[in-house]
Amino acid sequence: MSEVTALARPLTILLAAPRGFCAGVDRAIQIVERAIEKWGAPVYVRHEIVHNVHVVERLKRLGAVFVEELAECPTDRPVVFSAHGVPKSVPEEASRRNMIYVDATCPLVSKVHVEAQRHFDAEREIVLIGHAGHPEVIGTMGQLPQGAVTLIQDVAEVADFQPKDARKLAFVTQTTLSVDDTAEIVGALQAKFPEISPPHKEDICYATTNRQEAVKALGAKADLLLVIGSKTSSNSIRLVEVGLRAGAKAAHLIDDAHGIDWSWFDGISTLGLTAGASAPEDLVEAVIAACQARFGVTLQDVEVTREDVIFKLPRVVATAQD
Alpha carbon distance 300, 278 (integer Å): 23
Largest CA distance in the chain: 70
Mean pLDDT for the chain overall: 94
Write down the pTM of the prediction: 0.92
**CATH code of the domain in which 145 resides:** 3.40.1010.20
Compute CA distances 82 → 146, 148, 188, 229, whole Å: 22, 24, 32, 17
Among residues 168, 192, 216, the one where a domain terminates is 192
Let me know if residue 117 belongs to a domain: no
Active site residue 307: no
pLDDT-derived band of residue 51, with 50, 70 and 90 as boundaries? very high
pLDDT-derived band of residue 192, with 50, 70 and 90 as boundaries? very high
Question: How much of the chain, in percent, has pLDDT values that exceed 70?
Answer: 97
Task: Out of 72, 115, 136, 202, pick the active-site residue.
Answer: 136
pLDDT-derived band of residue 108, with 50, 70 and 90 as boundaries? very high
The residues, any chain, with a CB within 8 Å of residue 26's CB and separated by 6 or more, are 311
Let me know if residue 292 belongs to a domain: yes
Structural domain boundaries enclosing 184: 123-192
Q: Are residues 44 and 94 in the same domain?
A: yes
Q: In the chain, which residue ranges form alpha helices assigned H by DSSP?
A: 23-39, 53-62, 89-96, 107-121, 135-141, 155-160, 179-192, 206-219, 234-246, 281-292, 315-318
Alpha carbon distance 17, 309 (integer Å): 15
Q: What is the DSSP string of 128-195?
A: EES-TT-HHHHHHHTTS-TTSEEEE-SHHHHHH---S-TTSEEEEE-TTS-HHHHHHHHHHHHHH-TT
Residues 155-164 have a mean pLDDT of 96
Alpha carbon distance 151, 107 (integer Å): 22
Q: Are residues 217 and 292 in the same domain?
A: yes
Q: Are residues 210 and 155 in the same domain?
A: no
| Predicted confidence (pLDDT) at residue 29 exceeds the cutoff of 60 | yes
Let me know if residue 90 belongs to a domain: yes
pLDDT at 209: 94
Let me know if residue 201 belongs to a domain: no
Q: Are residues 102 and 159 in the same domain?
A: no
Let me know if residue 172 belongs to a domain: yes
Q: Are residues 242 and 188 in the same domain?
A: no
Let me know if residue 56 belongs to a domain: yes
Let me know if residue 3 belongs to a domain: no
**CATH code of the domain in which 83 resides:** 3.40.50.11270
- Say how many domains are in the chain: 3
pLDDT at 170: 97
